[in-house]
Every structure is written in C-alpha cells, then in structure tokens.
C-alpha cells in the first residue's frame, strides 16, 4: 500500500514518545506530520527546554539503567554509565532523530492549540501559527510531567513556595544556601532534590514532609542494576510480586533503620522511588522527616502532628496533572484525580482514530514505552490489526483497573501505573489476536484515508530543519 492510500496522521509532540512513534510511521510509509512546541526533540530530557515544559534539573540522572531504556533499533553508546545524565539522553534523542531522518518530518516551534474531531471523524488540528489541517488519526505524545500539581494549603506563607518542576539547582531559581527548606513528597524528584539540598553547605536545615512512609529502593542490588533483576516470566503475577517484595526487603531492610518513616504498605504497592544517596543522607541525620503540611502560618509551617518549623522555602515535589490543553471535549479530559482509563493504556474505546502514547507510569522505563505501543498503532493503521469490540475493550479496561487497585493504594500517582515487561508481552498477544480479526475482514483499513480531501494543503513534508 502506498502513502496516498493510508490514513494521514498527526503526532503531537517530539519527545521520546513522539519521535519513536514518528519513526514507526515512517517505517510503514504512513503519511504524518509531527508538531513540536520546542525548537528541538527530547522533551523532558532537554534541560531548560525553551518550551518551559521540562522538569529536568541540573543534576538529574535517569533512574532507569541504560540497557532498559535503550530504543530497539538504536543502541545506547557503550561508554555510557549505567545511569546516564540528562544531557547524554538529550544527545541520544537528537542523534536518533538525525539517524532516522526524522527532523524533516517535524514542525518545530509549532504548538497544537486545538484538536477537534468533526462529524466525519476527521481530526481538525490547529496550531499556534493559526493554520488548521485535517488528519485521519491523532497520536497524542504530549508527555505527562509538565503540568505541576501544587497542594492548596490553608494560610499564608512569607517564604518561597515552588514546585519541583521549577527547580534547577541549589542556586536557581533561588539561592538555597543557609535556608530552612521543606521538600514535600518522596517521589524520585523529591528524593534527588532533598539529597542535593541537605548537604551542609547548602540548606541550613532540610525537612522532608510526607503523608506516608515509602520504600526507597537501591539502584543496585549485589552489584547489578536493580531494574535488571527479574523473576522468571512463567511466575504467576501474585507470586512474582511476592518474590520481588522479598528481594527488596532483603536488599534494603526496614526503612526506619535509616531514620525514615515506616511505610504502611509493602514494597511495590506504590510507585517506587530509588536512591541510595537519599538513604545515606537520611542516615547521616542531614534529612529530618515531618508528616503532611497542615497550614502555612507566615514564617512558619504547621504539620499535621501539631509541630511547627520556621521555613524559608517549600519545594512541592507533588507530581503532575495529566493535561491535554488542545482538547475541549469533556470526554477527552481526565478527572481531578488523574483517572483516565484507556484500552491498553492507549485508546478510548469510542474513539477509533485517537491514540495516547507514553501515557503511563511504566516500570522500570517510560523512555521506550511508546516505541512498543507504536507497533500496534502502525499495524492498525495499515489494516494488519483490528480492535476488539467496544464492550470487550471496556471489559479489558475494568480488569486492568481492578488488578491495579489490588496492588496499589488509591492515589492520583497510581492511575496509570504499569509494568513494562508484562505490558510488552500483552501487546504482542493482542497484536496476534487483532491480526486474526484483521484477516477475517480481508485486511481492510479500519480508518479510511479522507483527510487529504479536506485540505488545500497537501500532506506535509515541509518542516523547520534544525
Ligand atoms: C524529573 C524526572 C525524572 C524522570 N525519570 C525517568 C526515569 O528515570 N525513567 C523513565 O523512563 N522516565 C523518567 N521520566 C519520565 C519522562 O517523562 C520520560 O522518560 C519521557 O520523557 C517521556 O517522553 P514523552 O515524549 O512521552 O514526554 P515528554 O518528554 O514530556 O515530551 C513531550 C513533548 O511534547 C511536546 N508538546 C507538548 N504539548 C505540545 C503541543 N500542544 N504541541 C506541540 N508539542 C507539544 C513537548 O514540547 C515535548 O517535547 C522522568 C521525568 C521527570 C520529570
């Protein structure tokens, strides 16, 4: 089949998810335009990204080891350390885009401001340059670590309150030397920032405020990267979880041994955070712990146990909202609690030409998650995969949701939690099932290409070269 007979696709975003999806479309000769708000690829991994959306800080190293984040057909450099710096990842994504000739297909500094599905089911996509084009399918790859979730504390605060998204280093955006700092939250950013600021030459006093204790995992177990330690594939999920929990207990011991609050759940019943450095800094007594913030009282912060502290800076490492500012259809907007159930973490059953890629908290890696998802997208758009019925998709979503509810405690952090390896195996099985359904309808296209007839502007190859 040629590109003129295949559906025309719009890809929103050229972060890791967008570029791997774009490459897959290119491989299958599927016509597409990829819109990127920034002046380069890389998304989150572009430090001080001019799009203002990157939460990257100066000292950030990825928590996923290099072999787990590697893209399938583009090996990471041999000389990389196990946990590369953000600048190395940024270069890797730039090299990937160059190697596969993707830059010519990306419209840089072009933000999608609106995406509306018209009566025919075509996507009418408008960009910040005022242009509108039509597409047969839409791939949303806009990331979910850019719209900060900031707690609404009662009271007034005399100091500076910022979200970890705005944090660059101990001196930027404000000089933290000699300050009393509270870091709220114990996700990976919270642990990194607290470890960095707790050095005696930076903050005068460093508290971590948390509603509940969490398990802080080591990045290495017995000299091997933790994310390369696995259990046999044939283990049933419940047994696999028990074995992994035991490995974590065995490697790290109890959290209170390091001075941390004791978790009220078992390992892996929350999205894990990993940092030997944090455990060490806490063990050295340079990090102290407080429960949740109850109120702001001018120069002081009151905590839920009734204690107060004089505080200069509060850094909220409290996560992100899932946001799609270009959608106005309420059906396509997640609720306040970040709940956004999708078939295979990708599709709303009622929308046969809309895919969300990279919209997951995938363990241990999100970097190459959309690369896997795009296999199903490409097979679908070329007629080699057919979806199950809408009812079957809803049933599959319900089953995943109840499995997640059994493993993880209820929190906006856990609405899109998924394990990478079982997910990839599931996609493989789903592709095989969908291939049979496609064969039964003679491999006809589920989405007929009609968008090109709607536009005077023909499928684009014009782009802003970097
Ligand atoms: C501090 C931090 C640490 C992390 N650590 C890890 C880790 O250890 N391992 C891991 O796997 N992942 C980690 N992540 C997750 C990280 O988000 C993913 O690795 C990866 O960047 C996801 O890629 P993405 O393309 O889906 O999203 P992003 O990287 O966010 O890229 C989205 C792209 O879409 C563009 N865009 C958004 N909206 C529009 C629009 N309307 N129009 C045009 N373009 C648009 C943006 O400009 C951006 O380039 C971390 C994230 C953070 C914030």
Residue among 58, 145, 362 to mutate when testing ligand 1 (max atoms within 8 A of CB): 145
What per-residue confidence (pLDDT) applies to 466?
A: 41
Q: Is 148 exposed, middle or buried (CB count within 10 Å of its CB: 0-12, 13-18, 19+)?
A: middle
What per-residue confidence (pLDDT) applies to 455?
A: 83
Q: Per-residue pLDDT for 391 more than 70?
A: yes
How many angstroms separate the alpha carbon of residue 130 from the centre of ligand 1?
A: 25
How many angstroms separate the alpha carbon of residue 146 from the centre of ligand 1?
A: 8
How far apart (Å, rounded) are the C-alpha atoms in residues 24 and 35?
16
Which of 362, 368, 373, 359 minimizes the C-alpha distance to 417? Answer: 362
Residue among 44, 96, 106, 194 to mutate when testing ligand 1 (max atoms within 8 A of CB): 44
Handedness of CA 295, 299, 303, 306 (dihedral sign): negative
Residue among 366, 413, 419, 463 to mutate when testing ligand 1 (max atoms within 8 A of CB): 366
pTM of the predicted protein model: 0.95
Atom of ligand 1 nearest to the CA of 127: 42
Q: Per-residue pLDDT for 457 more than 90?
A: no
How many angstroms separate the alpha carbon of residue 235 from the centre of ligand 1?
A: 32
What per-residue confidence (pLDDT) applies to 413?
A: 67
Q: What is the pLDDT of residues 50-61, one digit of tens each?
A: 999 999 999 999
Binding-site residues, ligand 1, Cβ < 6 A: 12-18, 35-38, 43-45, 51, 53, 55, 60, 62-64, 69, 111-112, 141-143, 145-146, 188-189, 326, 358, 365-367
Q: Per-residue pLDDT for 392 more than 90?
A: yes
User: If you take atom 16 of ligand 1, which residue's CA is the nearest one?
Assistant: 44
How many angstroms separate the alpha carbon of residue 145 from the centre of ligand 1?
A: 6
Q: What is the pLDDT of residues 256-277, one digit of tens each?
A: 999 999 999 999 888 889 999 9
User: If you take atom 5 of ligand 1, which residue's CA is the nearest one?
Assistant: 62
What per-residue confidence (pLDDT) applies to 1?
A: 53
Q: What is the pLDDT of residues 82-100, one digit of tens each?
A: 999 999 999 999 999 999 9
How many angstroms separate the alpha carbon of residue 76 from the centre of ligand 1?
A: 19
Residue among 102, 143, 374 to mutate when testing ligand 1 (max atoms within 8 A of CB): 143
How far apart (Å, rounded) are the C-alpha atoms in residues 207 and 279?
14
Q: Per-residue pLDDT for 407 more than 70?
A: yes
How many angstroms separate the alpha carbon of residue 401 from the centre of ligand 1?
A: 24
Atom of ligand 1 nearest to the CA of 56: 1
How far apart (Å, rounded) are the C-alpha atoms in residues 386 and 446?
7
The share of the chain scoring above pLDDT 90, in percent, equals 86
Which of 191, 198, 199, 247 minimizes the C-alpha distance to 216? Answer: 191
How many angstroms separate the alpha carbon of residue 258 from the centre of ligand 1?
A: 32
Which of 203, 191, 146, 117 minimizes the C-alpha distance to 15? Answer: 146
User: If you take atom 14 of ligand 1, which residue's CA is the nearest one?
Assistant: 366
Q: Which residues are paired to 314 by β-bridges?
A: 161, 182
How far apart (Å, rounded) are the C-alpha atoms in residues 301 and 295?
6
Q: What is the pLDDT of residues 211-249, one digit of tens each?
A: 999 999 999 999 999 999 888 888 888 898 899 999 999
What per-residue confidence (pLDDT) applies to 338?
A: 82
User: If you take atom 41 of ligand 1, which residue's CA is the nearest one?
Assistant: 112
How many angstroms separate the alpha carbon of residue 34 from the centre of ligand 1?
A: 15
Which of 114, 106, 116 minimizes the C-alpha distance to 43? Answer: 106
Q: What is the pLDDT of residues 154-188, one digit of tens each?
A: 999 999 999 999 999 999 999 999 999 999 999 99
Atom of ligand 1 nearest to the CA of 325: 41
CA atoms within 13 A on the CB side of 23: 24
What per-residue confidence (pLDDT) applies to 453?
A: 85
Whether 221 and 198 have beta carbons less than 8 Å apart is answered as no
What per-residue confidence (pLDDT) applies to 207?
A: 98
What per-residue confidence (pLDDT) applies to 458?
A: 47
Atom of ligand 1 nearest to the CA of 145: 53
For the chain, give the secondary structure using H, E and C: CCHHHCCCEEEECCCHHHHHHHHHHHHCCCCEEEECCCCCCCHHHCCCCCCCCCCCCCCCECCCCHHHHCECCECCCCCCCCCCEHHHHHHHHHHHHHHCCCHHHEECCCCEEEEEECCCCCEEEEECCCCEEEECEEEECCCCCCEECCCCCCEEECCEEEEHHHCCECCECCCCCCCEEEEECCCHHHHHHHHHHCCCCCCCEEEEECCCECCEECCEECCEEHHHCCCCCCCCHHHHHHHHHHHHHHHHCCHHHHCCCCECCCCCCCCCEECHHHHHHHHCCCCEEECCEEEEEECEEEECCCCEEECCEEEECCCEECCCCCCCCHHHCCCCCCCCCCECCCECCCCCCEEECCCCEEECCCCCHHHHHHHHHHHHHCCCCCCCCHHHHHHHHHHHHHHHHHHCCCCHHHCCEEEHHHHHHHHHHHHHHHHHHHHHCCCCCCCCCCHHHHCCCCCCCCCCCC
What per-residue confidence (pLDDT) applies to 225?
A: 95
Whose structure tokens read 């705005």?
166
* Minimum mean pLDDT range among 124-128, 175-179, 298-302, 446-450: 446-450
Q: What is the pLDDT of residues 301-357, one digit of tens each?
A: 999 999 999 999 999 999 999 999 999 999 999 977 888 999 999 999 999 999 999
How many angstroms separate the alpha carbon of residue 53 from the centre of ligand 1?
A: 9
Q: Per-residue pLDDT for 75 more than 50?
A: yes
């Amino acid at each position: 089949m040629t590109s003129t007979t295949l559906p025309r696709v719009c890809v929103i975003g050229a972060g890791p998810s967008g570029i791997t999806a774009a490459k897959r479309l290119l491989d299958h000769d599927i016509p597409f335009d990829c819109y990127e708000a920034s002046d380069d690829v890389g998304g989150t991994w572009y430090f001080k990204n001019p799009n203002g959306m990157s939460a990257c800080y100066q000292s950030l190293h990825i928590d996923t080891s290099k072999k787990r984040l590697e893209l399938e057909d583009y090996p990471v450099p041999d000389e990389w350390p196990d946990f590369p710096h953000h600048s190395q990842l940024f270069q890797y994504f730039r090299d990937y885009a160059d190697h596969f000739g993707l830059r010519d297909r990306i419209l840089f500094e072009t933000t999608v401001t609106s995406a509306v599905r018209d009566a025919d089911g075509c996507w009418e996509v408008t960009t910040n340059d005022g242009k509108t084009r039509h597409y047969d399918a839409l791939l949303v790859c806009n990331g979910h670590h850019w719209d900060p979730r900031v707690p609404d504390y009662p009271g007034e605060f005399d100091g500076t309150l910022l979200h970890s998204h705005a944090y660059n280093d101990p001196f930027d955006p404000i000089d933290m030397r000699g300050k009393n700092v509270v870091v709220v939250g114990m996700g990976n950013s919270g642990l990194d920032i607290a470890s960095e600021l707790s050095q005696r030459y930076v903050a005068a006093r460093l508290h971590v405020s948390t509603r509940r204790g969490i398990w802080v995992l080591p990045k290495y177990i017995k000299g091997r990267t933790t994310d390369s330690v696995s259990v046999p594939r044939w283990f049933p999920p419940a047994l696999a979880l028990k074995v992994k929990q035991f490995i974590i207990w065995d490697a790290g011991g109890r959290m209170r041994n390091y001075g941390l609050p004791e978790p009220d759940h078992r390992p892996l019943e929350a999205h894990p955070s990993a940092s030997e450095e944090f455990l060490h800094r806490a063990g050295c007594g340079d990090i102290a712990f407080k429960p949740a913030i109850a109120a702001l009282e001018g120069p002081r912060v009151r905590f839920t146990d009734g204690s107060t502290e004089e505080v200069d800076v509060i850094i909220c490492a409290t996560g992100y909202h899932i946001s799609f500012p270009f959608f106005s259809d309420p059906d396509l907007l997640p609720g306040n609690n970040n709940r956004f159930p999708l078939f295979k973490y990708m599709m709303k059953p009622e929308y046969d030409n809309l895919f969300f890629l990279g919209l997951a908290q995938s363990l241990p890696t999100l970097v190459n998650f959309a690369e896997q998802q795009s296999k199903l997208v490409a097979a679908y758009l070329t007629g080699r995969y057919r979806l199950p019925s809408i009812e079957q998709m809803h049933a599959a979503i319900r089953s995943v949701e109840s499995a997640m509810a059994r493993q993880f405690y209820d929190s906006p952090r856990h609405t899109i939690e998924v394990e990478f390896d079982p997910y990839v195996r599931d996609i493989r099985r789903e592709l095989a099932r969908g291939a049979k359904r496609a064969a039964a309808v003679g491999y006809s296209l589920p989405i007929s290409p009609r968008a090109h007839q709607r536009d005077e502007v023909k499928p684009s190859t014009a782009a802003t070269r970097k």
